[in-house]
Amino acid sequence: DLEVAVHVSAPAQIEKSGTITVNAKSLYEIIKESQGQEVDVTSLSNERIEIISGQSEYKLMGLSPKEFPNLPEVEGEFNKVATESFLKVLDKVSFAMSNDETRYHLNGVLIEKGDVDSVMVATDGHRLAYYKQALDLKNVKPEKVILPKKGVIELSKLCEKEKAIDLCVTERHILAKTEKQTLYIRLIDGNFPDYNRVIPDKNKVEINIPRQEFVGALKRVALMANDRSKGVSLYFCNDSLSISSSNPELGEAKEDIELAYKGPVFTIGFNASYFIDVLNVITDEQVIVSFKDELSPCLISCNSDPGFKSVIMPMRR
């Protein structure tokens, strides 16, 4: 689709070589529903193909292969990348990608190569997810690239099936290669914002909150929040966190969580969905939530995964 392309090879008994372009969805549905153990495919005249499997026979309209766009020609060195660590980092940050098509440079994940560690970052302007980890990208020439959202999804699917992939990164494309499949991804041409300016480093208030209890309370209280903003209020006082929401058309909700907290008393508002998304990618029993003040961004982290950080902007009350 000019953003993502894939080339796949499969074993077949070829009686006569040739090329034809057909509707991928229609072909997939036919093969999926076929009852035969084998499928016979024959190219006919007028850009059509005949498909026979078991007792079923189909004739599918096609297009001239000349109308199919050429795959991009990409030259560069490949890196053998372990998919477990690569997929882990993608999964930890991709939830924060933007859906706003007018801010296309945020519709993906930034991959930034370092001397030892590499960084992946995603943000939609209201929240940010950051992960720093050692990845074998020594042959990658560009220091920074932005992987588009669809590319993130398809690359994640490929990583789930393989223990390792060969990865080539150039100024315009990423190629992910396995024995039988090559995935071509066109990179986003844009400037990713300076994420270091967003991540707070001198927060005065730091609170440990039980993750599962926090997620459950947010989901329940958000039932009474505005459908669009999903706004909830977090009230911190001695030994407790009170989560509340109010909607003139629905009503209101409130739930308390016991905490070992002795800091200042304050109230801050957030989009509950943003908090739930980041809490769902953390596996620790406790999450660390820190603030500078009621108007500053919230930093979320955990002890077992020091490379991960997430930032959520507060809602104006």
Within a domain: 268: yes
Within a domain: 317: no
Q: Are residues 190 and 204 in the same domain?
A: no
User: Rounded CA gap, 161 and 254, in Å?
Assistant: 44
Q: Are residues 232 and 245 in the same domain?
A: yes
Q: Are residues 149 and 214 in the same domain?
A: no
Structure tokens at 293: 């003040």
Within a domain: 292: yes
Report which of 130, 108, 275, 110 is spatially closest to residue 198, judged by C-alpha positions.
130
Q: Are residues 24 and 99 in the same domain?
A: no
**Final residue of a domain: which of 157, 179, 195?**
195
> How does pLDDT run across 222-244, given as a tens digit for each residue?
999 988 889 999 999 989 999 99
Q: What is the mean pLDDT of residues 74-80?
A: 87
The number of C-alpha atoms within 13 Å of 311 and in the hemisphere containing its C-beta is 21
pTM, rounded to two decimals: 0.89
User: Rounded CA gap, 298 and 313, in Å?
Assistant: 6
Instruction: Give the residue numbers spanning the domain of 37.
Output: 10-67
Least confident among 23-27, 185-189, 199-203: 199-203
Asked if the model's pLDDT at residue 153 lies above 90, the reply is yes
pLDDT at 155: 96
> How does pLDDT run across 268-277, given as a tens digit for each residue?
999 999 999 9
**Final residue of a domain: which of 179, 195, 211?**
195
Q: Are residues 157 and 211 in the same domain?
A: no
Within a domain: 72: no
Within a domain: 2: no
CATH classification at residue 305: 3.10.150.10
Q: Report the number of distinct structural domains present in the chain.
A: 3
> How does pLDDT run across 1-46, given as a tens digit for each residue?
889 999 999 999 999 998 999 999 999 999 999 988 899 999 998 8
Q: What is the mean pLDDT of residues 140-166?
A: 92
Residue 90: helix, strand or coil by DSSP? Answer: helix
pLDDT band at 317 (very low <50, low <70, confident <90, very high): low
> How does pLDDT run across 203-219, given as a tens digit for each residue?
888 999 999 999 999 99
Q: Are residues 59 and 138 in the same domain?
A: no
Structure tokens at 119: 């960084």
